């Protein structure tokens, strides 16, 4: 028989239950832990091993070069070059301000970039593109590259990367056409056309770079590299997908013609524009605007001072006046009035109108007169175009207003004025063909405050109030290209081309073809005419004959400029009154006269008479097109009106 000690008491049933419950909980907990470890170590071992390996591998994007932009002969106008770019990754800089400033101060000493500028650029670029590296300097010295790479642990977040930047071997030639590239914006990454891009990638931001971005932009590659605990690459890449270079864009542009036009414009030092275009298919051979700008300004790192100076310049150097400049056209409009008058039965080619130097118009206190108070006597249409008689065309404007249903306006629109021409550049402006309906509607709105939102809208000409309805004087003004009429140089080139080619309203275009990086054709551009208008051959002939006499006959308005030119051309001067500004100079020409192939339109703001600046500009462009040397142009003395 066994005896238990006096102090040992039997376990109560309640206590036993508690022990059992706690033991069960502990057993279950250990079982869960055991099975979890078994799951991690056995069942998921391969998956977590892959993740661990991936933590040591980084995928680095490899920038794809953009395609080149070439002229019609294959000469390179825009290309890429590699540059060593000093960059900062703000997210990899030390977090503590003291250590961060120490790194930037050391970088300032070795790079020669002032510390204040370093910090300012980091703040500015991080604000504008928070996910992109900050570019501090381009084309850095290789000694600096070696120094930084050898001391990478002393300069965390500081890298020197080899990047592609746009290069312009022809200097400042045609920047308004090419435009520029910029880093894709954060909001743009949500757009379908940019969804495959990453912050920091380059896209077209203006001009042809924007219009044909999908053609020029290549496809980035990727490299998988092993990195250490600090995220620094170690060893060779594990795998690599090479980038695909973008296709090249071949233009219809002729570099020789483009250079001649830009040099001619620059020689006057006044704002202006020119267009040289094939009348058969609308191929742009040259198109320029002044003042101009250096496209390299937009190559990173972008100078904020230069950038703001361009956008704030009152002369608007970024505007392409050839396709965006909206102007009255002056007497260059007279061939359109002539065609409308002949077709509308307002005038016959042999009808005589006596120009006695003035034209009486009801409601005006003084008669309208010719430029320089000239008197030309009895005139038929061909002679009226030769001497540019305002009185003759005042008469036609008066007749058209009372006898026909807006004949001048309808022919102006048929020939290409009014809506944009369809040029393959972004932001082309339209023009304005004033009609009674348009002006009367403005007059009805005159009592409404802020009918234009308080300011004139950029591409809505004529958005202003008026204190009178339409009158015959508006049509008389329109007949000579004055008043409310607005057109771009490109629109005037299209109108003259339509007369020159027997009625095809061409669609102007700069793009000729797309070729791959090996030069193989990918796509051709052959835009069809917008429409065809019926021009009576007899009407066309009398108008071209009048324009030929205006340029080549001794009493023609531009004989002093073209009288000694070895190739006959058909051209018309224009002098536009734009108070309080000086007169604007215009000239539009078709060449050669007997078989027109090209149209050239030029205008110079504040250039005075059409024969003073615009005509010499057009002559320089035609000389380049026709390969006429300066020694082949004879000096002549004009006896006609300088208009």
pLDDT in tens, 331-345: 999 999 999 999 999
Q: Mind listing the pLDDT tens digit for each residue in 216-248?
A: 999 888 777 776 655 555 666 677 888 899 999
pLDDT over threshold 90, residue 413: yes
CATH code assigned at 191: 3.90.1310.10
3-state secondary structure of 599: strand
Of 251, 278, 295, which closes a domain? 251
pLDDT over threshold 60, residue 459: no
pLDDT at 23: 75
> What's the chain's average pLDDT?
87
Mean pLDDT of 268-295: 97
pLDDT over threshold 60, residue 8: no
Mean pLDDT of 62-80: 94
Task: Assign 453 a pLDDT band (cuts: 50, 70, 90).
Answer: very low
User: Hey, which of 134-138, 364-368, 592-596 has the most confident mean pLDDT?
Assistant: 592-596
pLDDT over threshold 90, residue 51: no
Evaluate whether residue 291 is within a structural domain: yes
Task: Assign 590 a pLDDT band (cuts: 50, 70, 90).
Answer: very high
pLDDT over threshold 90, residue 119: no
Task: Assign 508 a pLDDT band (cuts: 50, 70, 90).
Answer: very high
Q: Mind listing the pLDDT tens digit for each residue in 623-636?
A: 999 999 999 999 88
Q: Which residue has the higher pLDDT, 325 or 30?
A: 325
pLDDT at 520: 95
pLDDT at 442: 87
Evaluate whether residue 454 is within a structural domain: no
Q: What is the pTM of this model?
A: 0.83
Residue-number span of the structural domain to which 596 is assigned: 255-319+534-632
**Are 475 and 495 in contact, with CB atoms under 8 Å apart?**
no
pLDDT over threshold 80, residue 36: no
Mean pLDDT of 59-83: 90
Rg for the chain (alpha carbons), in Å? 36
**Domains: count for the chain:** 3
Of 162, 189, 219, which closes a domain? 162
Q: Kindly state the tokens that stand for 413.
A: 């629109």
**Stretch (H or E) spanning 615:** helix 614-626
pLDDT at 147: 87
616: nearest Cα among 253, 261, 329: 261
Task: Assign 260 a pLDDT band (cuts: 50, 70, 90).
Answer: very high
C-alpha angle 408-339-325 in degrees, rounded to nearest 5 = 60
pLDDT over threshold 60, residue 485: yes
pLDDT over threshold 70, residue 617: yes
How far, in Å, are 74, 174, 531, 583 from residue 320 at the CA level?
24, 10, 26, 20
pLDDT at 457: 36
**Are 573 and 586 in contact, with CB atoms under 8 Å apart?**
yes
Q: Do 71 and 176 reside in the same domain of the chain?
A: yes
Task: Assign 378 a pLDDT band (cuts: 50, 70, 90).
Answer: very high
pLDDT over threshold 80, residue 330: yes
Q: Do 154 and 240 reside in the same domain of the chain?
A: no
pLDDT at 183: 81
Whole-angstrom Cα distance, residue 329 to residue 577?
Answer: 10
pLDDT at 265: 97
Task: Assign 455 a pLDDT band (cuts: 50, 70, 90).
Answer: very low
Q: Which residue has the higher pLDDT, 433 or 145?
A: 433
CA dihedral 420, 424, 426, 432 (to 10 degrees): -10
Query: Which residues are CB-neighbours of 284 under 8 A, at least 6 positions away?
Result: 251, 252, 253, 275, 276, 277, 423, 508, 509, 510
Evaluate whether residue 443 is within a structural domain: no
Q: Do 224 and 246 reside in the same domain of the chain?
A: yes
**Are 426 and 405 in contact, with CB atoms under 8 Å apart?**
no
Q: Do 207 and 65 reside in the same domain of the chain?
A: yes
Q: What does DSSP say about strands 76-88 and 272-278: parallel, antiparallel, or unpaired?
A: unpaired
Whole-angstrom Cα distance, residue 227 to residue 235?
Answer: 8
The pLDDT > 90 percentage for the chain reads 59
Mean pLDDT of 297-301: 77
User: Hey, which of 194-203, 340-349, 576-585 has the most confident mean pLDDT?
Assistant: 340-349
Q: Do 119 and 177 reside in the same domain of the chain?
A: no
Mean pLDDT of 172-176: 96
Evaluate whether residue 603 is within a structural domain: yes
Q: Do 94 and 219 reside in the same domain of the chain?
A: no
Q: Do 140 and 200 reside in the same domain of the chain?
A: no
Q: Do 233 and 302 reside in the same domain of the chain?
A: no
Q: For the beta carbon of residue 115, count every other beta carbon within 10 angstroms.
A: 14
CATH code assigned at 303: 3.30.450.330
| Helices and strands in the chain, H and E counts | 21, 23
Q: Do 61 and 175 reside in the same domain of the chain?
A: yes
pLDDT over threshold 60, residue 465: no
pLDDT over threshold 70, residue 351: yes
pLDDT over threshold 70, residue 301: no
pLDDT at 170: 95
310: nearest Cα among 293, 296, 290: 293
Q: Do 623 and 544 reside in the same domain of the chain?
A: yes
Mean pLDDT of 63-90: 92
Evaluate whether residue 200 is within a structural domain: yes
Task: Assign 10 a pLDDT band (cuts: 50, 70, 90).
Answer: low
User: Hey, which of 55-59, 293-297, 331-335 has the most confident mean pLDDT?
Assistant: 331-335
Evaluate whether residue 358 is within a structural domain: no
Of 130, 162, 194, which closes a domain? 162
pLDDT over threshold 70, residue 495: yes
The pLDDT > 70 percentage for the chain reads 87
Evaluate whether residue 129 is within a structural domain: yes
Task: Assign 3 a pLDDT band (cuts: 50, 70, 90).
Answer: very low
Q: Do 142 and 157 reside in the same domain of the chain?
A: yes
Whole-angstrom Cα distance, residue 103 to residue 159?
Answer: 13
Task: Assign 447 a pLDDT band (cuts: 50, 70, 90).
Answer: low
Mean pLDDT of 449-459: 43
Q: Do 246 and 260 reside in the same domain of the chain?
A: no
For residues 329-356, one letter each, b for 16 or more C-beta atoms within 10 angstroms of the residue's C-beta and e for the rest, the string is bbbbbbbbbbbbbbbbebbebeeebebe
Evaluate whether residue 118 is within a structural domain: yes
**Are 77 and 169 in contact, with CB atoms under 8 Å apart?**
yes
């Amino acid at each position: 028989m066994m005896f238990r000690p006096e102090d040992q008491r039997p376990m109560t049933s309640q206590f036993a239950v508690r022990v059992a419950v706690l033991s069960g909980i502990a057993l279950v907990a250990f079982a869960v832990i055991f099975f979890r470890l078994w799951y991690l170590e056995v069942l998921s071992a391969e998956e977590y091993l892959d993740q661990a390996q991936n933590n040591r591998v980084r995928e680095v994007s490899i920038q794809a070069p953009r395609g080149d932009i070439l002229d019609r002969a294959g000469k390179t106008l825009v290309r890429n070059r590699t540059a060593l770019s000093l960059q900062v990754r703000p997210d990899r800089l030390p977090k503590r301000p003291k250590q961060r400033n120490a790194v930037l101060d050391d970088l300032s000493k070795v790079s020669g970039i002032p510390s204040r500028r370093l910090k300012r650029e980091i703040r500015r670029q991080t604000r504008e593109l928070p996910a992109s590296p900050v570019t501090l300097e381009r084309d850095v010295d290789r000694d600096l590259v070696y120094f930084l790479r050898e001391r990478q642990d002393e300069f965390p977040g500081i890298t020197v990367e080899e990047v592609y930047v746009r290069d312009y071997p022809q200097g400042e030639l045609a920047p308004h056409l090419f435009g520029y590239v910029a880093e894709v914006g954060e909001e743009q990454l949500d757009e379908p056309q940019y969804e495959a891009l990453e912050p920091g990638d380059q896209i077209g931001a203006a001009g042809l770079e924007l219009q044909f971005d999908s053609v020029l932009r290549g496809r980035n590659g990727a490299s998988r590299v092993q990195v250490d605990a600090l995220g620094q690459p170690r060893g060779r890449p594990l795998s690599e997908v090479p980038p695909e270079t973008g296709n090249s864009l071949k233009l219809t542009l002729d570099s020789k013609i483009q250079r001649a036009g830009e040099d001619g414009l620059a020689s006057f030092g006044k704002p202006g524009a020119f267009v040289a275009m094939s009348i058969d298919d609308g191929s742009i051979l040259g198109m320029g605007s002044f003042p101009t700008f250096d496209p390299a300004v937009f190559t990173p790192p972008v100078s904020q001072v230069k950038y703001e100076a361009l956008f704030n310049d009152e002369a608007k150097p970024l505007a392409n006046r050839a396709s965006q400049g909206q102007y009255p056209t002056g007497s260059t409009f007279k061939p359109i009035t002539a065609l409308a008058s002949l077709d509308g039965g307002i005038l016959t080619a042999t009808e005589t109108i006596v120009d006695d130097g003035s034209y009486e118009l009801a409601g005006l206190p003084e008669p309208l007169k010719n430029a320089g108070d000239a008197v030309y006597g009895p005139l038929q249409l061909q002679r009226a175009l030769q001497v540019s008689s305002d009185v003759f065309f005042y008469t036609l404007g008066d007749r058209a207003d009372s006898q026909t249903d807006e004949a001048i306006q309808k022919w102006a629109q048929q020939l290409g004025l009014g809506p944009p021409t369809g040029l393959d550049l972004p932001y082309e402006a339209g023009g304005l063909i004033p009609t009674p309906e348009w002006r009367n509607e403005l007059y009805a709105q005159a009592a409404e405050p802020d009918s234009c939102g308080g300011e004139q809208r950029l591409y809505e000409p004529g958005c202003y109030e008026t204190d009178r309805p339409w009158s015959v004087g508006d049509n008389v003004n329109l007949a000579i290209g004055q008043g409310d009429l607005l057109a771009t140089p490109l629109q005037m080139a299209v109108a003259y081309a339509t007369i020159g080619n027997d009625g095809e309203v061409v669609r102007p275009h700069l793009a000729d073809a797309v070729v791959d990086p090996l030069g193989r054709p990918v796509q051709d551009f052959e835009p069809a005419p917008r429409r065809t208008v019926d021009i009576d051959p007899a009407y066309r002939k009398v108008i071209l004959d009048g324009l030929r006499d205006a340029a080549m006959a001794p009493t023609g308005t531009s004989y002093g400029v073209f009288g000694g030119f070895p190739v006959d051309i058909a051209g018309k001067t224009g002098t536009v009154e734009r108070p309080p500004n000086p007169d604007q100079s215009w000239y539009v020409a078709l060449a050669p006269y007997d078989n027109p192939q090209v149209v050239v339109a030029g205008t110079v703001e504040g250039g005075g008479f059409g024969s003073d600046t615009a005509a010499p500009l057009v002559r320089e462009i035609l000389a380049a097109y026709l390969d006429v040397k300066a020694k082949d142009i004879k000096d002549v003395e004009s006896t006609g009106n300088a208009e």
